[in-house]
Structure 1
Amino acid sequence: MQIITSHAEFEQYLGKELGVSSWHTITQDQINKFADATLDHQWIHVDEERAQNEGPFKATIAHGYLTLSLIPYLWKEIVDIQNLKMEINYGIESLRFAQAVTVNSKVRLKAKLASIINLRGVTKVNMAIEMEIEDQKKPAFSGEVVFLYHFIS
C-alpha cells in the first residue's frame, strides 16, 4: 500500500500504477442488499432460479453500479491518503462496462495516476482504473475516476 501525505508526493506517481487491491467476492447477499438500497430488483440480479434457468450467464449478476460502488472501498486498499482536511469523489469519466460480474466472482481494482493538477490548493487527480474479474480476460469495467484532495498545509 502506498502512503501519500501531500500534493508533491502524489505528483511523483504521475503515469505510474499505484497498485492493485485484494480480491473481493461478490455475494448474493451483497447483490440483494444493493437491490434493496437502489430499488433495482431486476430478476437477473435477485432471482437465482430464474437467472440459472433463463439468464445468459446461468447465474445472477451484480448490478453494474454495485461494482462501481466498490471503488472507494478497494481504492483505500491501494493508497492511504493522509494529512487531509477533506476528500471528495468528484466524477467518473469515460467509463465502460466490459463484462458482467456473476455472483460469487472475485473482483479487484487496479489504479494508475493518469493526471494530477493543483487547483489553488486542492489536488485534483484522475485515476485510470480497471476492475478485474478473477480468471476472466475482460475487466468488469475500465475508465477514469476523479478525486479532489484538500491536504492540510
Structure 2
Amino acid sequence: MPREISLADVPGLVGQVLGTSEWITVDQQMIDTFADATLDHQFIHVDPDRAAAESPFGGTIAHGFLTLSLLSAMNYDCLPKIREQTMGLNYGFDKVRFMSPVRCGSRVRGQFTLTECRFRGAGLLMTTYDVSVEIENEKKPALTANWITIVQFDPKDRPADA
C-alpha cells in the first residue's frame, strides 16, 4: 500500500487490508500513566505483586481502553495518508470487543481493513474499518472493533463521481 493516496482512490480500496502497524510494547510505565490519566488504579493494572498473587493473569494487564486508545498511534503508523485530507475525526465505534488481556510487557499491533466509505456533505468522507489488535505470540486478538472515522477535505477536492 502506498504511503499516500488520493481521495478518489479510497472507494476502490473497500474490502482491502490497508495496513498493519509496527509492534508497540505495553510496559508497566505505559499502564501506570494511563491509570493516572483515567483514575483507574485497579490492582490488576498497577500492582504487579498483587496481580501475580490474586489474578488469573500472572501479573498486571493493560486496561482495555488503553489498548483501544493505541488505535490512533497504530493508524498513523500504517494507514496511507489521503493527500486532500485537512483533518481527521473519530466518529465512533459500532462494536468493540475485548477478546484477550494484554499482559504487561506484551507487544501489540493493529490491522486495518477498510469496509465502507461514503461521501457526506460537500467536504466529508466517512470511513469504517474492521480493526484487530493482535498480541504477539497469542492466537486470540486483544480486541476487535468497527471504527468509524471522518475525513475532512476542501469541497473543491471532492471527486467528480462522488
Q: Please classify the TM superposition score into its range, dividing by the shorter chain length.
A: over 0.9
Name the residue aligned to 2:160.
none
Give the aligned residue type for 1:58: G
CA RMSD of aligned residues (A): 1.2
| SS of residue paired to 2:34 | helix
Q: Take 1:10 and 1:73, find their aligned partners in 2: how far apart are those partners? A: 21
Whether 1:145 and 2:138 are equivalent positions in the alignment is: no
Unaligned runs of 5+ in 1: none
Which of 133, 136, 141 pairs up with 2:135? 133
Structure-to-structure mapping, 1:20-59, within 5 angstroms: 20-59=20-59
Q: Take 1:87 and 1:6, find their aligned partners in 2: how far apart are those partners? A: 15
Name the residue aligned to 2:98.
97
- Per the normalisation by structure 2, the TM-score is 0.90
Kept in 2, the 8 Å contact 1:95–1:142? The answer is yes
Name the residue aligned to 1:111.
112
Q: How many residue pairs align between the two structures?
A: 153
- Per the normalisation by structure 1, the TM-score is 0.95
Name the residue aligned to 2:85.
84
Cα deviation, residue 78, structure 1: 1.1
Give the aligned residue type for 1:3: R
Q: Take 2:3 and 2:120, find their aligned partners in 1: how far apart are those partners? A: 22
Whose Rg is larger? 2
Tell which deviates more after alignment, 39-48 or 49-58: 49-58
Give the aligned residue type for 1:151: F
Cα deviation, residue 86, structure 1: 1.4
Kept in 1, the 8 Å contact 2:96–2:143? The answer is yes
Cα deviation, residue 4, structure 1: 4.0
| SS of residue paired to 2:75 | helix
Kept in 2, the 8 Å contact 1:98–1:140? The answer is yes
The share of aligned pairs that are identical, in percent, is 39
Name the residue aligned to 1:7.
7
Cα deviation, residue 118, structure 1: 0.5
